[in-house]
Amino acid sequence: MVDTRVTLSGIELANPVIPASGAFGFGYEFAELYDINILGSISFKGTTKEPRFGNPTPRIAEASAGLLNSVGLQNPGVNKVISEELPKLKKCFNKPVLANVSGFSVEDYAYTCEKLDTEDCIGWFEINISCPNVHGGGLAFGTDPKNAAAVTRAVKKVTNKPVYIKLSPNVTDITEIAKACEAAGADGLSLINTLLGMRIDLKTKKPVLTNKTGGFSGPAVKPVALRMVYDVYEAVKIPIIGMGGISTAEDVIEMMLAGARATEVGAANLIEPFACKNIIENLPAVMEKYNIKSLNEIIGGAHNG
pLDDT band at 135 (very low <50, low <70, confident <90, very high): confident
Alpha carbon 278 to chain centroid, angstroms: 19
Judge contact between 292 and 253, C-beta under 8 A: yes
Judge contact between 57 and 299, C-beta under 8 A: no
pLDDT band at 38 (very low <50, low <70, confident <90, very high): very high
* 240-243 and 188-191 strand pairing: parallel
Averaged pLDDT, 206-224: 96
Judge contact between 196 and 68, C-beta under 8 A: no
C-alpha closest to that of 129 among 67, 77, 64, 174: 174
Domain of residue 209, residue span: 6-303
Judge contact between 135 and 105, C-beta under 8 A: yes
C-alpha closest to that of 122 among 26, 32, 38: 26
Which phi and psi (to 5°) does residue 262 adopt? -145, 170
Distance CA 242, CA 230 (A): 10
Distance CA 255, CA 266 (A): 14
Q: Is 92 a catalytic residue?
A: no
**Angle CA 39–41–45, to nearest 5:** 115
Q: How many CB atoms lie within 10 A of CB 211?
A: 18
Q: Output DSSP code: residue 131.
A: S
**Angle CA 237–242–247, to nearest 5:** 160
1 in a structural domain: no
CATH label of the domain that carries residue 106: 3.20.20.70
- Give residue-wise pLDDT tens across range 80-131: 999 999 999 999 999 999 999 999 999 999 999 999 999 999 999 999 998 8
Residue by residue, what is the 3-state secondary structure of 7-21? Answer: EECCEEECCCEEECC
235 in a structural domain: yes
Averaged pLDDT, 276-290: 98
Distance CA 216, CA 244 (A): 10
Judge contact between 238 and 179, C-beta under 8 A: no
Q: Kindly tell me the number of DSSP H helices and DSSP E strands found in the chain.
A: 9, 16
Distance CA 92, CA 120 (A): 15
Q: Calculate the dihedral angle through the C-alpha atoms of 125, 55, 246, 9, rounding to the nearest 10 degrees.
A: 0
Helix extents (H) in 67-128: 78-80, 86-92, 106-116
296 in a structural domain: yes
Widest CA span in the chain: 57
Catalytic choice (92, 113, 131, 276): 131
Averaged pLDDT, 29-57: 96
199 in a structural domain: yes
208 in a structural domain: yes
pTM of the full structure: 0.97
The domain tally of the chain equals: 1
pLDDT band at 283 (very low <50, low <70, confident <90, very high): very high
Judge contact between 78 and 102, C-beta under 8 A: no
pLDDT of residue 139: 75
- Give residue-wise pLDDT tens across range 44-94: 999 999 999 999 999 999 999 999 999 999 999 999 999 999 999 999 999
C-alpha closest to that of 127 among 175, 180, 83, 191: 191
